[in-house]
Amino acid sequence: MDNTGAIQNMADTGRPRHLPLSCSPFFTSQDVDEARARVAQVYCDHRLEPMGKRGFDARHNRLAGSDLSINVMTYSAKTMIIPGALKEFYLFQYPLSGHASISNGTNCHEIGGGRSGVVNPSESTCMIWGEGCTQLMIQVRRDALQRTARSHFGLPDGQSLRFCGANDMRAQEGKAFLGLLNYAMSGDGVLGTGGLMGQQLETTLMVGLLQTQRHNLSEQSLEKSGALPRAVRLAEEYMSAHIAEPLTLGTLARETGVSERALQMAFRAGRGRSPMAVLRDLRLERSWQELSHAEPGTNVTDVAMQLGFYHLGRFSEHFRRKFGCTPSEILRKARRL
């Protein structure tokens, strides 16, 4: 099967009959333990917990180079994946169909519908793939990507590369990167064949990943250029430090030294959302952490109330929209681990 154009041509609905990269099959299985063991062979040990009622079916195609591999994976059932810290590699994820919720340390976001994300290796990770989610992934060695970031983007020696948030791949730069991935996956590509051309293709893929995914170097560039207003950074730092306190727009304006109107405009320009919408997301991310690493006696009501969510129905709906499952589902799974 020719994979050229397969990424763009796959509709974001349903589950594909044929996975891209079919010329490089890795495994298929309807057994959860077998699927977990096979994935652990090339990624890392992890917990794999089907959550939905649909029968479990896993498929994985994989093309490996020297410093990175391209993978296409799908789970038929809604599935929780808990690998902890990946340690030795970064993992780029781009859903070809369906959606997934990612919690990677304090970096929590949803991908799918044209949005991608990268999992950092040094922070604990928990993911929920929605039913029928199919993902295109690049697994890239930590040292190789750090080396590329230093040589091409000026990552200072001793500083770690850290990705954050979801990224819209529907703009021209994102489309160009996906086109490069199409080429690498096609029969015309040289990935995995060794030699200078294969090494050059891997470097080009890593540069493309760094150009299209948001990370701490791009955040620093925004701050230096003035594109990310100082008031936004100060307000977000204050939110994180006082996340369980009753914060208002007036409080944030006073702490950042600007008017409420100026703060609203700064957030619209820098984040595309209001300050209170950003605060709600930060609190939802903290609630994910509390519930997915629950201590004995933890319950959804207490976590919600402590973070200022006094309407439990709305809290549950916001949580489900952001992470793809309800707070109760996360807590139940955490108690089984």
Q: Is 308 inside a domain boundary? A: yes
Q: Tell whether 255 and 203 lie within a shared domain.
A: no
> Is 112 within a domain?
yes
Domain-located, residue 151 = yes
- For residues 181 and 298, membership in a common domain is answered with no
pLDDT tens for the chain, 337 residues long, are 333 355 655 544 444 557 899 889 999 999 999 999 999 999 999 999 998 778 999 999 999 999 999 999 999 999 999 999 999 999 999 999 999 999 898 788 889 999 999 999 999 999 999 999 999 999 999 999 999 999 888 888 888 999 988 899 998 889 999 999 998 988 666 787 767 888 889 999 999 999 999 888 865 554 554 545 788 889 999 999 999 999 999 999 999 888 888 888 888 877 778 999 999 989 998 898 888 877 888 899 999 999 999 899 999 998 888 887 889 988 887 676 5
Distance of alpha carbon 52 from alpha carbon 30, whole angstroms: 14
The DSSP output letter for 198 is H
Do 185 and 38 fall within a single domain?
Answer: yes
Same domain for 181 and 249: no
237 shares a domain with 212: no
Check residue 188 and give its pLDDT.
Answer: 61
Give residue 228's pLDDT. 58
Residues 207 and 320 in one domain: no
For 145, the token pair is 């990507």
Q: In the block, which residue shows the tokens 């700064």?
A: 266
Residue (of 202, 206, 208) closest to 190 by Cα position:
202
pTM of the model: 0.74
Length, in residues, of the chain? 337
Question: In DSSP terms, which residues pair with 119 in a beta bridge?
Answer: 91
What CATH number is associated with residue 78? 2.60.120.10
Q: Which two tokens stand for residue 288?
A: 């994910």
Q: Are residues 211 and 233 in the same domain?
A: no
- Look at residue 255 and tell me if it is in a domain: yes
Show the CA angle centred on residue 185, arms to residues 189 and 29, nearest 5°. Answer: 140
The domain that holds 312 is classified in CATH as 1.10.10.60
Asked if 98 and 130 count as a contact pair (C-beta separation under 8 A), the reply is yes
Q: Which of 166, 186, 220 is the last residue of a domain?
A: 220
The reply to whether 1 falls in a domain is no
Please indicate, yes or no, if residue 310 is contained in any of the structural domains.
Answer: yes
Please give the DSSP secondary-structure letter assigned to residue 295.
P
Among 220, 255, 283, give the residue marking a domain's end: 220
* Location of structure tokens 């369980």: 244
Domain annotation covers residue 143: yes
Predicted pLDDT of residue 157: 85
Q: How many domains does the chain have?
A: 2
Alpha-helical regions (H) of the chain: 6-9, 32-42, 142-153, 172-185, 195-212, 216-225, 230-241, 249-256, 260-270, 275-292, 300-306, 312-323, 327-336
User: Do residue 148 and residue 253 come from a single domain?
Assistant: no
Say if residue 36 is in the same domain as residue 130.
yes
Measure the CA–CA gap between 19 and 137, rounded to whole angstroms. Answer: 13
| Residue span of the structural domain in which 264 resides | 229-336
For residue 21, the Cα-to-chain-centroid distance in whole angstroms is: 22
Same domain? 301 vs 274:
yes
Boundary of a domain, candidates 163, 186, 220: 220
Residues 168 and 297 in one domain: no
Q: 167, 116 in Cβ contact below 8 A?
A: yes
What is the pLDDT, as a whole number, of residue 13?
Answer: 41
Q: What pLDDT is stored for residue 294 in this prediction?
A: 77
**pLDDT (0 to 100) of residue 269:** 77
Domain co-membership, 67 together with 215: yes
